[in-house]
Structures are given as C-alpha cells and as structure tokens.
Amino acid sequence: MRDLQDIETVGVVGAGTMGAGIAQVAATAGYDVVMRDIEAEFVEQGFDRIEDSLDRLAEKGEVDADERDDVLDRITGTTDLGDFSDSDLVVEAAVENMDIKRDIFSELDDEVPDDVPLATNTSTLSITTIAAATDREERIVGLHFMNPVPVMKGVEVVVGEKTSEAVVDLAHDFAEALGKETWESDDKPGFVTNRILMPWINEGIRAFDEGVATKEDIDKGMKLGTNVPMGPLELADHIGLDICLDASETLHEELGDRYKPAYLLKRKVDAGDLGKKTGKGFYEYDDES
C-alpha cells in the first residue's frame, strides 16, 4: 500500500471540465500527471481548458509565466489507459454513468499495479458498486472535487463498504497536498453535498417556474438571506443543468420523490440550454461574463 510520500505520478481519467481541473491542481502541486481521454481531440481540449485557467490566474497575479509553463510541462496527454502503468494514484473523472465507470475501473484494475489506489470523482454514484468491478475493492475511494476545481477549496472523501482506513487517510492527505480542505461521507446516495444541494437547486427552479419571484430575486434573496456566494439558479448554470439533472435523477431513483427533478430543469436540458458552458441556461453568458 502506497502512502503520500510515495505518490509522484497521478493519472487522471477524463480531460473534461473536472478531469482537466484535477490534472491542473495536481501538476500545480508538483506532481507529474498523465491525463487520458478516449480521443486525442478531447485531450487537446483538456489542455486548452488548463491553459485558459492558468491564463486567468496569471492575469490575477496568482501565477507567473514560468509557473504556468512548469504546470503544463508536468502534464502528459494520452488516449491509452496503459499509460497509467507507472502512476502511483489514479483519479477517474469520466461521465457520470455507472456502466461507464465500472468499465473504466475494470480496465484500470488490469493496467495499474495492484497496490495503487484508484479514486472516483463521482458526485452521486455508489463507490461500493464501482469498486466491485475490480479486485482491489479496499483500494477504491471517492474523491469528489468541487467545480471549478482550481478555485474551489473543498474535496469530499467518500468511503465505500470495503475501502480501507489507510486509503481513506491517503485520500485526505492527497487532497490536502493539493491545497484543499476535506470532509468525509459514507457511501450513501448523494453523499453530503448533493444530497442537500440538489433539492435546494430544484426548489429554486420550481419557485421561478411557479412565478414566486424573478430568477434574479430568487438568487439575490438566497445570497443575502443565507450568505451563500451564489443563488440556486446561478449555481445550477455554473454546475451545468445536465449535470444537475443527472444527479437529481439518480437521487430520485435512490431516495424517492423528494428528489424529483424540477420540470423546468428537464425542459432546459432538452432544449440544449445547459448553463454557462453552452452560453445559456437560466441566464445568458458571453466570453466576458
């Protein structure tokens, strides 16, 4: 079993918003990173996301040009899971689909040395079910990063049925080495964050759909009334309405009607208005915003 001082190379499965963000913060912390996606085009898009993020940090004076280049130099892109064979820890950040995640973990189990811990960035799916696709269930753990990863300070550590205490400790230590703060959740649907967050977002959407207030006043009321940085509609746009819908549907299936997705959320997703990433959700966005 490896511990924190043994980790030099981190594998990241997925070069989307979350995967690229995880790769960035790991490289910023000094780790060598292998970032993999299923097509070279997606890997390149991941690098574009990282470069854009680093450029924004440079504009704020949080990194200089040399630090930016050093971070990028520490990241290697690939489309081959076999390139994780020298990784000391692998974090999966693929699409939020149980079948896909189980397939990935089954392949990782074959490609990565037996003593290497494997983490999943899932926000709602069972760690125990994912782990059962491997022969190393005690080395599977949830590392649920918040979006956007380079900015948000929190990481949720999720403990599966067979996750060992040593791997849980390593997950906390690794996240803290990235400059994050952690909290721990048992492997229950939605964990801590989405179990509480998704009903809040859905109720905000319902309040807007039923004409309780304008979207601006709903968000303003929640920000000023509860001291949160974003209201529910703004936050849903920021997360991605498709991601909110997927999470809500998973929780609805597991926990019943109190988690039923708002009708307007479904309609927005069907229309392709997914929030900030598509330029339109409950609000409209341009490059400046």
283 lies in some domain = no
Q: Are residues 139 and 255 in the same domain?
A: no
From 154, 186, 218, the end of a domain falls on 186
The reported pLDDT for the residue numbered 112 is 96
Q: Is 97 a catalytic residue?
A: no
Q: Is 185 a catalytic residue?
A: no
Domain at 181, CATH number: 3.40.50.720
287 lies in some domain = no
What residues form DSSP beta bridges with 183? 156
289 lies in some domain = no
Query: Is 281 annotated in some ligand binding site?
Result: no
Residues in the chain with pLDDT < 50?
A: none
What residues form DSSP beta bridges with 34? 11, 76
Q: Are residues 202 and 76 in the same domain?
A: no
From 134, 160, 186, the end of a domain falls on 186
Q: Are residues 182 and 211 in the same domain?
A: no
Query: Which residues, including other chains, have CB under 8 Å from residue 7's CB and lie 6 or more apart?
Result: 31, 88, 89, 174
Q: Which is catalytic among the residues 53, 164, 194, 248? A: 194
Q: Are residues 71 and 9 in the same domain?
A: yes
Q: Are residues 221 and 102 in the same domain?
A: no
Which sign does the torsion angle of CA 196, 188, 151, 264 carry? negative
286 lies in some domain = no
Q: Are residues 142 and 167 in the same domain?
A: yes
Q: Give pLDDT tens digits for 189-198.
A: 999 999 999 9
Residue 79: name the closest of 41, 31, 121, 33 by CA. Answer: 41
The reported pLDDT for the residue numbered 3 is 78
210 lies in some domain = yes
Q: Which two tokens stand for residue 126?
A: 């069972």
Q: Give pLDDT tens digits for 25-57.
A: 999 999 999 999 999 999 999 999 999 999 989
Q: Is 194 a catalytic residue?
A: yes
Q: Give pLDDT tens digits for 87-127.
A: 999 999 999 999 999 999 999 999 999 999 999 999 999 99
Query: Is 114 annotated in some ligand binding site?
Result: no
What is the number of domains present in the chain? 2
Q: Which two tokens stand for residue 60?
A: 């704020």
Q: Are residues 208 and 95 in the same domain?
A: no
Domain that holds residue 234: 193-277
The reported pLDDT for the residue numbered 148 is 87
Asked if residue 229 has a cis previous peptide bond (ω within 30° of 0), the answer is no
| pTM of this prediction exceeds 0.85 | yes
Q: What pairing do the DSSP bridges indicate for beta strands 32-36 and 118-120?
A: unpaired
Q: Are residues 113 and 170 in the same domain?
A: yes
Domain at 227, CATH number: 1.10.1040.10
Query: Is 16 annotated in some ligand binding site?
Result: yes
Tell me how far apart the alpha carbons of residues 235 and 91 are, in angstroms, rounded to a whole number.
Answer: 25
Q: Is 216 a catalytic residue?
A: no
Query: Is 9 annotated in some ligand binding site?
Result: no
From 132, 162, 186, the end of a domain falls on 186
Q: Which is catalytic among the residues 87, 121, 123, 248? A: 123
Q: With contact defined as beta carbons under 8 Å apart, do 185 and 159 qualify?
A: yes
271 lies in some domain = yes
73 lies in some domain = yes
Query: Is 154 annotated in some ligand binding site?
Result: no
Q: Are residues 139 and 269 in the same domain?
A: no
Q: Which is catalytic among the residues 92, 121, 137, 144? A: 144
If DSSP codes are grouped into helix, strand and coil, which group holds residue 143? strand
Q: Are residues 153 and 198 in the same domain?
A: no
Query: Is 138 annotated in some ligand binding site?
Result: no
